[in-house]
Amino acid sequence: MRTAIFPGSFDPFTLGHADIVSRGLRLFDKVVIAIGVNPDKKTLFSPEERLQQIQACYAHEPRVEVLLWQGLMVDLARQWQADCFLKGVRSVVDFEYERTMASINAKISDSSIETCLLYARPELEAVQSSVVRELLHHKADVKAFLPEALHYLSK
């Protein structure tokens, strides 16, 4: 079974993230959405809230696992016997960052885990969790940026 790990903070999970998962499911048998838990990072939603939110999006998709993870992603990939890290890129800045991370992950995993970059669809390039958080802070309607299961976040 070909498995991909899709890591991120997902604070919150957006249509851009959902699109990467959807496209990843065409390439892999299973996609593991790994919500990074970093106690030093300030987030709008707690790790448990983000877990519940994303699980709600994929309640009827058995090929998607959602979990919390604190530690090195290569360790999680080994645990799941994953073939690949699945990453989305919107810009050259994202690409440069992901290229650096892919190089580091290859070195610490003895090159056993590949990185698969999927470019954001043009209509989703501007969708960023940080922008959605800012809009939520100002009580703006963010439904256009979120999967339907998360529309309740827009008050």
Catalytic residues: 17, 41, 90, 129
Residues 119, 98 contacting (CB under 8 angstroms): no
User: Quick one: residue 114, left, alpha or beta (phi over 0 = left, psi -120 to 50 = alpha)?
Assistant: beta
**Helix (H) and strand (E) counts for the chain?**
5, 5
Query: Can you list the positions of beta strands (E) in 27-63?
Result: 30-36
CA-CA distances (angstroms) from residue 53 to 10, 33, 113, 124? Answer: 10, 12, 28, 20
